[in-house]
Amino acid sequence: MTDIVNYNTQIEAEYIEETVDLLDEIEVIIQQLSTGSEEGKQRFKYALVKLSNLCATGQHTSNILLNVTMHRFLNYLNGLAKPNIDQIRDTQIFTDTMNGILDGTVTHDGYDFSEFVRSRPVRRPLDIEDIEHLDIEIMVVETKRTAAHIIERELQACGYVVVIVKSPLEAISLAIKTKPDMIISSAELDDISGIDLACAISAMPRTKNIPFCLLTSYDRGHKKLLDLPDRVASLSKGKDFSENFADALTRFKIA
């Protein structure tokens, strides 16, 4: 038993040390990236990989607040090309927050982190103008980067805050902690299917009231969707996506 405790303590110590080092490194990299330097671009790609790995490791530590903030930071950084002044400032807010969590000056009581994470900066598309920014958060669970980006762009064009999650198991953990206003999941995922994810979210007391939409090419009556809970809405992967999504918003009474 002592060996297990010592092992867990060592893992957490290494996790914190790597996080501190990476946060310091990211602050420098963002400045490089803002100038368009090739070195900055390469270092940024590597930093995202390290940050993603730390997000995965952090799920198995006691640093829950740090982990959910890190996930939100990773979501903010993904797809960032040449940060402007506001985005550099937002990055600093994230790094300051996480450093504050590590030194104990930033704390949070309880297990519901939804209000906390929603107070963190959100990166809005610079090339989408004249849209009303809504305080409605949609979690998109999709393993394919291109597909996730297409959905993200369409939802952002409507003013929604979009959080991309690649792993369905990670989505369950984050949904419990951050309580998105809606979850949209592809039917085809790794580890478990989107149908399994829908069943899990619909069954758990902490998440059962979160509206869930399954993105699928199958009709609702298809045998592969027989286990899908009745409360889950189906979204077409094709040209009917926007219409299906509008129907789902009406059904779930989301603005």
CA distance 60 to 3: 17
Which burial class, exposed, middle or buried, applies to 224 when counting CB atoms under 10 A from its CB (0-12, 13-18, 19+)? Answer: exposed
Provide the whole-model pTM. Answer: 0.91
Has residue 31 got a pLDDT over 80? Answer: yes
> What is the DSSP secondary structure assignment for residue 81, as one 8-state letter?
-
The average pLDDT across 102-113 equals 92
The average pLDDT across 77-85 equals 93
Has residue 3 got a pLDDT over 70? Answer: no
CA distance 188 to 200: 15
Q: H helices within 2-123, ranges in order?
A: 2-34, 38-58, 64-77, 85-103, 114-118
Q: Report pLDDT for 122.
A: 92
The average pLDDT across 42-60 equals 94
Has residue 19 got a pLDDT over 90? Answer: yes
How is residue 107 written in tokens? 């704390």
Kindly report the average pLDDT of the chain as a whole number: 91
> What is the DSSP secondary structure assignment for residue 124, as one 8-state letter?
P
CA distance 238 to 235: 9
Percent of residues, the chain, with pLDDT higher than 70? 95
**Could you report the per-residue pLDDT of 204-254, keeping only the tens digit for each?**
999 999 999 999 988 888 888 889 999 999 998 878 888 999 999 999 999
Q: Report pLDDT for 224.
A: 87
pLDDT band at 8 (very low <50, low <70, confident <90, very high): confident
CA distance 29 to 50: 13
Higher pLDDT among residues 4 and 159, named by residue: 159
Among residues 200, 182, 202, the alpha carbon closest in space to that of 247 is found at: 182
Q: Residues 6 or more apart from 133 whose CB is under 8 A from it? A: 124, 159
Q: Report pLDDT for 33.
A: 96
Give CA separation, 150 vs 38, 106, 145, 154, 157, in Å.
Answer: 26, 35, 9, 6, 11
Has residue 2 got a pLDDT over 90? Answer: no
Decide if 163 contacts 140 (C-beta within 8 A): yes
